[in-house]
Amino acid sequence: MPFPNGTAIGKYKIKGFIGAGHFGEVYRVRDRAIDADSALKLLPIADPKHYVELVEAKIQHKCRHQNCVTINSADVKSVGGTPYACIDMELMTGGSLESLLERQFLSVRHAVKLITDVPFGLEHAHCQGIVHKDIKPGNILLVGDVAKLSDFGLSEEMNEYGKGSGLFAYVTHQPPEFFSSSEITIKSDIYSLGMTLYRLVNNINDWQVKLQNLSNVETHVTKGSLIAAVGWQPWVPEKIRKIILKACASHPDRRYNSVREYRQATDRISWINDWSRITPTQWSVQGTRLAEISITTTAPFKFESKVNGRRQNAATRQFLSSSAALDYLHEYIATSTLS
């Protein structure tokens, strides 16, 4: 059970519960020494003489980068007679990408933009010899429009062969070789990054429910066929799918060779329209050019396009069924998002 607001932990005073990770809980706290808020991660410690639980803080500090959540300090404190590792971190006021998915629909362009910052931080971690092992929407945090990689609790240093152990990892985002050889490499992180982008562009805000509804889910996870089993939203452009599918290729040799190579592929995307869903049958593009597309809800089902309020008669289509009209609308979005 989370500690109540007002609980004092050394110089910190708990202001609110943020969430729980694999091994501990995160709170918004007030640092009374400098009169500022930060995030404090608390991890129970079996033996205060051994700082094993502070390995996360050491690794995250080693990966210090503008696109990784900053570690301010790490110490051991007693709370109610129980020793805890206390990791003082940068407070990310925008929450996680997972919570953002739960609150709102993300356009494809918005989804890709939100995750463009993360590869810089991950690339830096790899250069420090660190594999993250836990890349997912819940571990990408926002402050303003900037996304940062967080929660290095499962991370570890690679050995001389560029490998980490298969001990602990976010399983549903791991590639087939994780299950066959129990090893992690930078290509495992690339796979996880691709799975994260897949969830974002498809607006999957109920990942665990999706998995529970699949038959043979363990087979799909271990064979790398999870994306094929879950499927795509029909409005996701083909170029975006190809980037994700390369990152999530079942064999590591078919994936991007580095995070930089993956990042460069997303940088080359050329956008035309940023379609946002208003309702399932009505979409729009905001900005200097207000574009709208919609389908009528009664037969004959009409697809209509407007630009700055003016109907584009040449784009109008009629269909005998609502499903055919909806298919056309989705195809229109998928083919007019990118150049």
**Pairing verdict, β 183-184 and 276-279:** unpaired
* Domain spanning 97-267: CATH superfamily: Transferase(Phosphotransferase) domain 1 (1.10.510.10)
Q: Which whole number is the average pLDDT over 203-207?
A: 96
Share of the chain above pLDDT 70, in %: 95
Residue 155: C-alpha distances to residues 22, 38, 273 (Å): 12, 22, 38
Coil, strand or helix at 130: strand
Are 77 and 9 spatial neighbours (Cβ–Cβ below 8 Å)?
A: yes
Residue 213: per-residue pLDDT: 93
Are 205 and 101 spatial neighbours (Cβ–Cβ below 8 Å)?
A: yes
Residue written as token pair 């869903």: 277
Q: Which whole number is the average pLDDT over 194-215?
A: 96
Residue 151: per-residue pLDDT: 86
Q: Which whole number is the average pLDDT over 16-28?
A: 85
Q: Which two tokens stand for residue 59?
A: 């690794």
Angle at 191 between CA 189 and CA 196, to 5 degrees: 90
Phi first, then psi: what are they for 97, rounded to 5°? -65, -30
Task: Please write the tens of the pLDDT for every residue from 162-184.
Answer: 888 777 788 999 999 999 988 89
Q: pTM score > 0.85 for this model? A: yes
Q: How many residues does the chain have?
A: 339
Name, in order, each residue with C-beta under 8 angstroms of 64's C-beta and a sequence gap of 6 or more. Answer: 70, 71
Are 196 and 235 spatial neighbours (Cβ–Cβ below 8 Å)?
A: no
Q: CA–CA separation, 227 vs 187, rounded Å?
A: 17
Residue 49: is its pLDDT beyond 80? no
Coil, strand or helix at 120: helix
Q: CA–CA separation, 114 vs 240, rounded Å?
A: 14
Residue 38: per-residue pLDDT: 96
Alpha helices in 2-145 (DSSP H): 55-62, 97-103, 108-114, 118-127
For 216: left if phi > 0, alpha if psi spans -120 to 50, otherwise beta; the answer is: left
Residue 336: per-residue pLDDT: 95
State the chain's maximal CA–CA distance in angstroms. Answer: 75
Q: Nearest CA to 102 among 138, 136, 150, 139? A: 138
pLDDT tier for residue 197 given thresholds of 50, 70 and 90: very high
Task: Please write the tens of the pLDDT for every residue from 97-156.
Answer: 999 999 999 999 999 999 999 999 999 999 999 999 999 999 999 998 889 999 887 888
Q: Could you tell me the residue ranges of all domains in the chain?
A: 8-89, 97-267, 276-336
Residue 41: is its pLDDT beyond 60? yes
- Of the two residues 243 and 167, the one the predictor is more confident about is 243
Name, in order, each residue with C-beta under 8 angstroms of 60's C-beta and a sequence gap of 6 or more. Answer: 68, 69, 71, 87, 89, 152, 155
For residues 308-324, one letter each, b for 16 or more C-beta atoms within 10 angstroms of the residue's C-beta and e for the rest, the string is: eeeeeeeeebebeeeee
Q: CA–CA separation, 131 vs 165, rounded Å?
A: 10
Q: Which CATH architecture has domain 8-89?
A: 2-Layer Sandwich (3.30)
Q: CA–CA separation, 134 vs 234, rounded Å?
A: 28
